[in-house]
């Protein structure tokens, strides 16, 4: 008797701003199968050029608050009178379709995902080889003020302390190599079984 399963899995990416997470995902996207990149839900109005389901999931305040009461958010916050949060509804829909769900979230977000769905979660911390290299990259991309760069570097010093909480570490020294490492991890993460599937396998194996 053979046993097959077709569930989704979760891959959490964390790391300092400027580590190259988006670049790695884009370079590896054609090699990791069908995936859903988790995006935030918000009640603010779309800006020019923004599309629902691309930059954000745009919903009404009433819809957002109904989902809060239903417990459908991994996390949420009220910022300048608009809600922002990570809705579990599109995540669950993607998982039910057998997709790999990718989160690009901070350390606290990683802990929340682990707490809720740890049995199908794999996590990766992506970082440049050093704090000095991170500073060079942040300065080179010319998108942040010096004060913002200073804040990002300060945050990175704290983020690196949680590196041991992650399953894998990718040192993004060369993006081609880092992307290959990411592909290996992403494809392996799909092999994780949830608790129900493990119990089913045990039962089938014994009979």
Give per-residue pLDDT as tens, 31-79: 999 999 999 899 999 988 889 988 889 999 999 999 999 999 988 888 8
Helix (H, G, I), strand (E, B) or coil at 52: strand
State pTM to two decimals: 0.85
At the second CATH level, the architecture of 39-97 is: 2-Layer Sandwich (3.30)
The domains spanning 1-34+98-207 and 39-97 adopt the same CATH topology? no
Contact 72, 112 (CB under 8 A): no
Contact 18, 141 (CB under 8 A): yes
The token pair that represents 193 in the structure block: 């079984």
* Third-level CATH fold of 1-34+98-207: Rossmann fold (3.40.50)
Q: Domain ranges for the chain, please list them.
A: 1-34+98-207, 39-97
Contact 182, 124 (CB under 8 A): yes
Give per-residue pLDDT as tens, 140-187: 988 788 998 999 899 999 999 999 999 999 999 999 999 999 999 999
Which residue spans within the chain are E strands per DSSP?
9-14, 35-37, 41-42, 57-58, 73-79, 82-87, 100-104, 121-127, 168-171
| Pairwise CA distance, residues 186 & 60, whole Å | 34
The token pair that represents 82 in the structure block: 């608009």
């Amino acid at each position: 008797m053979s046993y097959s399963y077709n569930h989704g899995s979760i891959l959490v990416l964390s790391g300092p701003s400027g580590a190259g997470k988006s670049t790695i995902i884009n370079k590896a996207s054609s090699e990791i199968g069908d995936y859903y990149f988790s995006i935030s839900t918000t009640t603010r109005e779309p800006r020019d050029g923004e599309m629902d389901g691309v930059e954000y999931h745009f919903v009404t305040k009433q819809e957002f608050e109904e989902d809060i009461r239903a417990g459908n958010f991994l996390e949420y916050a009220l910022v300048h009178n608009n809600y922002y949060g990570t809705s579990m509804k599109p995540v669950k829909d993607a998982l039910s379709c057998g997709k790999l769900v990718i989160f690009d979230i901070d350390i606290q977000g990683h802990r929340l995902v682990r707490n809720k769905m740890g049995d199908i979660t794999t996590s990766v911390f992506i970082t440049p080889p050093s704090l000095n290299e991170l500073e060079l990259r942040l300065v080179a991309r010319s998108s942040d003020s010096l004060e913002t760069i200073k804040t990002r570097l300060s945050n990175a010093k704290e983020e690196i302390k949680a590196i041991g909480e992650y399953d894998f570490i990718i040192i993004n020294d060369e993006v081609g190599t880092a992307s290959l490492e990411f592909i290996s991890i992403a494809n392996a993460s799909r092999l994780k079984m949830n608790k129900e599937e493990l119990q089913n396998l045990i039962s089938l194996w014994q009979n």
